[in-house]
Structure 1
């Protein structure tokens, strides 16, 4: 029935990882623990047990707690669709699409849903560990805030502030945050943590003591860089990284401007015989790639235009002429077809856009969103594939007669006549170990016999050990109320 909130001095300071580690550490103490993030902005979403969607980081934190993810763990999810607009998901369901200016006016109406979800979690668990968003130092966003101090004050939840020393200027991060926030907000802060230290943490003793003396806040620890973080799903597309080159077979993934659900790549990145290359804007698709993946996208039409602007459509044609394979997942699948129709203007002005023409299918965007967990059977091998669907749009056409999989007896996805171009709506397919091994074998890539679920679970245990070794966990838990 208690709660503590982890806020950051900025975005990407490691809040999500620390919350996951603290969750696991608290569960080890015999507590019933749940994660909570009032407002998240991410296109990396998870489908929940209750048929909605939340940020992938909260799904990982739920795993750390030994729980199935539910929509109450992230009641407001913002999914960017353009530079200025985002889809607003409330308690798992799409509410509207709003421009940034309009969302500022919408925020006060969302506090009720946020507090409603929080109170349900709080009533059902011994401890709720809350994650903030961005930084409380963004005082221009304080009015109507539901993500940081606005929530902490409304729900009376103490705050631990996290600074990122890897970025430099961490003393100014923490001391500066206290300097700019309201005194009543500052009174909610129980202490601070310094995260992502490289080298000997004792070298920061003087800086640590200076922050404590200057702010009057208690220090809860200096956390060294966690080397196994890459094994856990990332929330921010900026954290996507190519796998270390080790002489394996090259698999390239296009980094769309609105890339979504990119943790599909994590099991591939863990394979020792796969060199995963993230192809970013301005770079060419490697000529020696055996497979090119077109991943999910929050804006199929927008990212199709982005793809062409990079010249990747030309690179793909060359890749195919060399005998390469292409896999499109969700939005990437839609792009592979002949046409993307958007008669209602769901992704922008109403109209049609030519696809890449690599599959004989076409997609019509529809307002209804499909959100479901899926148990599928891979058509070529008969192997079970566990995944999920999270998309708008309906895809039809002759190449669907050669399905990628069967779901409940229905055909899913499409494959070209030569078998080298594949499209599917199934996210998470590579987490199924036997399927992943067979799929890679079909590309001439020997799989490493990894159990991806075990790998993630072991990384979470290692993260909890890391947190226990460097944070005063008992002190943090004692600060909860």
Structure 2
């Protein structure tokens, strides 16, 4: 029997498409269906390494987890990773194929549709149900001619669409009815129903609102979904999910609550994989502050983290422009600790060389010189799941590598020591001689309960009993329960239908 498919498109960005697909994936998986998530095109610097050796958007990795299957490159065949002046890095079926500015990418999209349909067919060949997530807004008619992310895909694969609106941001009736008004009639015919997301208050007060949308569009009303408070426990897809602007500054003036330890993460413009620090955000003993340009690093932070970056040299310049290099020096004089991950690790060294212009204009720049290392951006991108232990203390960890670059250590006797020993015997990372500045290429250290407790102990924070991974699975189950209660899931399955795309050959 051919797999059925259903697509969730939105009236705009950040209306909750990723979360709805994740919840439905868990709900239908619990019913015994083989579910596969799929997003034709994604734009995000939060990426995940897949079991088949590529990278996809973090949201699709979470959706795969919700469906209880390994993440695959075919779940997100086109991934755009925004960089600096050069636009975005283009990843196709898990591998980098080049860089493109926005206008250049529009001309590339028709050629990418073949890869999108190929990946979709491969997933459908192993599934009972494929849940497809659109990107941005279904009403971007100015981009419709070359679209592969929303109606362009839906029409090419003959996949029915459910349109999702967000009532929390206001104007949901206009956004749903307006979408029906501006899109092509043949596109509108693909839409079989609508869902209103993030409702607060008495749902009966919006009964007339649901009827109004249905009357003006002709679409089935499939659910009014109340705000899901536990969503904050799940990894966010992109920088829109970073805690609200200005929060860290407010926290800094108020001081840390008794019994809590402040950790600051530098949110530079091209921050990548900031979900590395979600476990710290959930720690009851941690006050996690994302610090943006224009805000000072909190003076009471015990640990400052330099996260990954999609454009290391450009973000290092932004760091200096924000005055964070001065703040870091003061932080270390006060006895604080610093940790760099991936691009943040490269920034902590003496020099960074991008001679071939991989991440921006060719350049060689001075780093922060807090570690005795030098980095050259060159070679193939490393994409691998990894495990090992710390060199000091032999604390185990699991994580992944996702980087371009080769880092070498200086010959200084005070240059520090390697931080991690990988499972294959390789050494990774560096820790300063006094142990207060460290960095490595391994993402996901804080997701591992053993490593997170180790780092909290290093900065003098009390131990916690948070077990992160089971917390994520429990939250996905709660999300599935929530959607089963407020969405007509039986009707969704009836509306899903087999696509007309087949595996080539």
Q: TM-score range by the shorter chain?
A: over 0.9
1:368 equivalent to 2:410? Answer: no
Structure 2 stretches of 5 or more lacking a match?
A: 498-505
| Residues 80-117 of structure 1, C-alpha deviations (whole Å, 9 max, x = no match) | 00266100000000011001010000000000000000
SS of the residue 2:228 aligns to: coil
SS of the residue 2:381 aligns to: strand
Matches within 5 A, 1:137-156: 137-156=139-158
Aligned to 1:107: 109
Aligned to 1:470: 486
Normalised by the length of structure 1, the TM-score is 0.98
For 2:85 and 2:127, locate their aligned partners in 1 and report how far apart those are by CA, in whole Å.
38
For 2:17 and 2:182, locate their aligned partners in 1 and report how far apart those are by CA, in whole Å.
21
For 2:447 and 2:463, locate their aligned partners in 1 and report how far apart those are by CA, in whole Å.
13
Aligned to 2:500: none
Aligned to 2:502: none
For 1:10 and 1:98, locate their aligned partners in 2 and report how far apart those are by CA, in whole Å.
24
SS of the residue 1:142 aligns to: helix
Aligned to 1:4: 6
1:263 equivalent to 2:297? Answer: no
SS of the residue 2:213 aligns to: helix
Aligned to 1:125: 127
SS of the residue 2:377 aligns to: strand
For 1:480 and 1:390, locate their aligned partners in 2 and report how far apart those are by CA, in whole Å.
36
Aligned to 1:417: 433
Matches within 5 A, 1:63-102: 63-82=65-84, 85-102=87-104
CA-CA distance at 1:246 after TM superposition: 4.4
Aligned to 2:203: 201
1:402 equivalent to 2:414? Answer: no
For 1:473 and 1:160, locate their aligned partners in 2 and report how far apart those are by CA, in whole Å.
12
Aligned to 1:30: 32
For 2:141 and 2:183, locate their aligned partners in 1 and report how far apart those are by CA, in whole Å.
7
Moved over 2 A (4+): 242-247, 398-401
Normalised by the length of structure 2, the TM-score is 0.94
| Residues 350-404 of structure 1, C-alpha deviations (whole Å, 9 max, x = no match) | 1211101111101001041111100121112212110000001111113776111
Aligned to 1:379: 391
For 1:400 and 1:80, locate their aligned partners in 2 and report how far apart those are by CA, in whole Å.
34
Structure 1 stretches of 5 or more lacking a match?
A: none
Aligned to 2:52: 50
Aligned to 2:356: 344
Aligned to 2:501: none
- Whether contact under 8 Å (1:84, 1:100) holds in the other structure is no
For 2:280 and 2:435, locate their aligned partners in 1 and report how far apart those are by CA, in whole Å.
21
For 1:246 and 1:322, locate their aligned partners in 2 and report how far apart those are by CA, in whole Å.
20
Shift in CA distance, 185/405, structure 1 to aligned 2, threshold 3 Å: same
Aligned to 2:236: 234
- Whether contact under 8 Å (1:400, 1:411) holds in the other structure is no
- Whether contact under 8 Å (2:372, 2:409) holds in the other structure is yes
Shift in CA distance, 400/430, structure 1 to aligned 2, threshold 3 Å: farther
Aligned to 1:442: 458
| Residues 169-212 of structure 1, C-alpha deviations (whole Å, 9 max, x = no match) | 00011000000000000000010000011112221111111001
For 2:229 and 2:18, locate their aligned partners in 1 and report how far apart those are by CA, in whole Å.
15
For 1:132 and 1:168, locate their aligned partners in 2 and report how far apart those are by CA, in whole Å.
21
Q: How many matched pairs?
A: 481
- Whether contact under 8 Å (1:8, 1:134) holds in the other structure is yes
1:218 equivalent to 2:220? Answer: yes
For 1:358 and 1:11, locate their aligned partners in 2 and report how far apart those are by CA, in whole Å.
39
1:326 equivalent to 2:338? Answer: yes
Residue 116 of structure 1, aligned match among 115, 118, 122: 118
For 1:443 and 1:381, locate their aligned partners in 2 and report how far apart those are by CA, in whole Å.
15
- Whether contact under 8 Å (2:89, 2:96) holds in the other structure is yes
For 2:200 and 2:86, locate their aligned partners in 1 and report how far apart those are by CA, in whole Å.
36
CA-CA distance at 1:430 after TM superposition: 0.8
Aligned to 2:503: none
Aligned to 1:164: 166
For 1:299 and 1:90, locate their aligned partners in 2 and report how far apart those are by CA, in whole Å.
19
For 1:411 and 1:107, locate their aligned partners in 2 and report how far apart those are by CA, in whole Å.
41
Matches within 5 A, 1:449-464: 449-464=465-480
Shift in CA distance, 26/118, structure 1 to aligned 2, threshold 3 Å: same
For 1:274 and 1:286, locate their aligned partners in 2 and report how far apart those are by CA, in whole Å.
14
SS of the residue 2:491 aligns to: helix
- Whether contact under 8 Å (1:338, 1:359) holds in the other structure is yes
Shift in CA distance, 189/83, structure 1 to aligned 2, threshold 3 Å: farther
